[in-house]
Chain A
Amino acid sequence: GESVGLHLPTLSVQEGDNSIINCAYSNSASDYFIWYKQESGKGPQFIIDIRSNMDKRQGQRVTVLLNKTVKHLSLQIAATQPGDSAVYFCAEAPHTGNQFYFGTGTSLTVIP
């Protein structure tokens, strides 16, 4: 499969601080990227996506940045809350087919 990896396996932040989760991908042919949040015992939940023709996309309290030059993706969470504690996965989709390749995940812990 493709190589989609994360720089930090765990991340702890204080409640109210901003969080940044990073992801590196290897396939230059990927043109669509998605961030998912997975809580214990649940399936992944869509957070935000971005196409390769964009560098930045914002949602509610979340921003995804895409740097195609270095094949790097990041998820920024503003004013992190205890409910944000979960494992976060980035996923990439090559322009051919419908496969989505997930990274290993980063465990985010929010300290009250």
Chain B
Amino acid sequence: GAGVSQSPRYKVAKRGQDVALRCDPISGHVSLFWYQQALGQGPEFLTYFQNEAQLDKSGLPSDRFFAERPEGSVSTLKIQRTQQEDSAVYLCASSLLGDRFGNIQYFGAGTRLSVL
């Protein structure tokens, strides 16, 4: 596709349920980022991949959050035992290179997660 694709666009989960959010980056992009965006706030960094390697997961809020990118393209963000505070928009971004200078991040439209 032409851009970063995320699915589903909307997800409603019952508290305690596990969810999986998918990100299809732009083909050939080396870097992939996940962000969490609460209502009325800026995106907050969760984790970063360079190809299949997860180089930084310092932003993941708890061990209930897990991300993978096994073949260096599609990535999945998994949240186990969802809590109400996990309700947010989860954004995925990809960039062509591994270097951050001038390496524009292209964002998907996000997955809006609502935990009831």
Contact = CB atoms under 8 A, between A and B. Distances in A.
Q: Does A associate with B in a complex?
A: yes
Interface of A: 1, 4, 32, 41-46, 49, 51, 89, 91, 93, 97-105
Given A41-B109, A43-B109, A93 B100 contact: yes
Interface in B62-90: none
B101 to A, nearest CB: 6
A94 to B, nearest CB: 10
Looking at chain B's contact residues, is the secondary structure mostly helix, strand, loop, or mixed?
A: loop
A19 B42 CA distance: 20
Nearest to B58: A99
Contacts of B44: 1, 102
A45 B100 contact: no
Nearest to B91: A43
Interface in B29-78: 31, 33, 35, 40-45, 48, 55-56, 58-59
Given A43-B110, A99-B48, A51 B104 contact: no
Contact of A42 (B101, B102, B105, B109): B109
B4 A49 contact: no
B21 interface: no
A88 to B, nearest CB: 10
Of the listed residues B41, B59, B93, B105, the one surrounded by the most CB atoms of chain A closer than 10 A to its CB is B105
